Amino acid sequence: MSSLAPQPQDWTSAGCHPVVPGVYRIPLPMPQDGLRAVNVYVLESDGGLALVDAGWRVDGALDQLRDAFASLGRRLDEVTDVYVTHIHRDHYTLAPELRRRFGTRIHLGIGEAPGLRALQDLRSNVPLTSLEQLRRAGAKDLADRTLLRMREEPWDERDWEPPDTWLRPGRFSVGGRGLCALSTPGHTKGHLVFHDETAKLLFAGDHVLPSITPSIGFELGGWEFPLGRFLASLQLLLTRPDAVLLPAHGSLGRGVHERVRELLVHHEQRLAATYEQVCALAPVSGLEVAEHLLWTRRNRTFSALDDFNKMIAVCETMAHLDVLEARGRIVAEKTAYVARFHPAS
């Protein structure tokens, strides 16, 4: 696989860091977020520059991007295209700003169209699908608190202007660099990864992260078996040639296949732990299962999480319960909008 240029010990260190010839990494800020930064990748060619992901349009992000480009002796108006892995704001919302200022074209996976429409129709950052899952899990109070908090967040329709091109899976060229867009739903409906088979690199977005698993169940545009689709998307990568992992968050350089196998094992272990709680507590709601599991790499209790992370935890629990039901391990019975689960006979 490709030999990468040395990277700073702290992957969030500002700057424009060489990856391989013609590819650079720029970490951009994510304020008040545990992920700390998002990696934006620069693809260099004689015809201009392209980005994989754009970053979050927050104060200082555009200036930090401009400064990183200046260290290369390049300008932001040389960026002709942005290829966005998925619709979350830390990946997408700086792209429309680049287009307004410099005419940069935006490309986004076609599977993200329902989520983008939902955001535009609601004119709000409220994830209605996630709130529906909270209520299905028996967490109505948490849903109500989350709704109030997210309605207080500022909304700017300019952040969610549509892309110039809806990407479909398949091969395309960026300045002579051949890439293959692969559909990898799960974290979002239309998530794409970009595989450079020649250089043996995978621009993985949030689909494969080096030390954590992406949130599953924080969906826009309807609930569509997110964990099942995520596991299938991981298996897809094992059928492809191995590559060096270039993630959106965290350090780069791991082998994709190695990390994918770890993620598959993690979720099988999580499914087993979820099933144990169903057996112990049945009939049990999704909220009650989530309350009896441990969360994050630090094994925090559910009660120690803030409301946003409680929402993520409950939605992810519902995603695991849905997979167990699809496998015939458990049965769901819905009463008064709340699903209660018990082991299959």
Determine the pLDDT at residue 33.
66
CA dist 313 and 134 (Å) reads: 10
Judge whether residue 224 has pLDDT over 70: yes
Determine the pLDDT at residue 164.
98
**Count of structural domains within the chain:** 1
132: in domain: no
300: in domain: no
Token couple for 329 = 């391990």
111: in domain: yes
Q: C-alpha distances in angstroms, 145 versus 24, 79, 217, 226, 314? A: 41, 41, 18, 24, 14
Determine the pLDDT at residue 109.
98
Determine the pLDDT at residue 48.
86
Q: 126 falls in which pLDDT band (50, 70, 90)? A: low
* Number of C-beta neighbours around residue 94 at 10 A: 27
Q: What is the pLDDT of residues 291-344, one digit of tens each?
A: 999 998 889 999 999 998 999 999 999 999 999 999 999 999 987 789 999 999
140: in domain: no
CA dist 318 and 290 (Å) reads: 9
238: in domain: yes
Determine the pLDDT at residue 153.
80
Q: What is the pLDDT of residues 35-74, one digit of tens each?
A: 889 999 999 987 789 999 999 999 999 999 999 999 999 9
Q: What is the pLDDT of residues 158-179, one digit of tens each?
A: 999 999 999 999 999 998 899 9
Long-range pairs for 67-73 at CB < 8 Å and ≥24 separation?
67/14, 68/14, 68/15, 68/16, 68/24, 68/26, 69/16, 69/42, 71/15, 71/16, 72/16, 72/24, 72/42
150: in domain: no
Global confidence as pTM: 0.95
Q: Which residues contact 127 (CB under 8 A, 6 or more apart)?
A: 150, 218, 219, 220
Determine the pLDDT at residue 152.
79
Domain region containing 187:
17-122+158-262
- CB burial of residue 298 (10 Å; 0-12, 13-18, 19+): exposed
The CATH code of the domain that includes 205 is 3.60.15.10
Q: 1 falls in which pLDDT band (50, 70, 90)? A: low
Specify the amino acid at residue 17.
H
129: in domain: no
Please give the backbone phi and psi of residue 342, each rounded to the nearest 5 degrees, phi first.
-145, 160
Q: 271 falls in which pLDDT band (50, 70, 90)? A: very high
CA dist 248 and 52 (Å) reads: 9
- Please state the rounded mean pLDDT for residues 224-247: 97
DSSP letter at 54 equals: -
The mean of the pLDDT values for the chain is 94
Determine the pLDDT at residue 217.
84
Judge whether residue 241 has pLDDT over 70: yes
59: in domain: yes
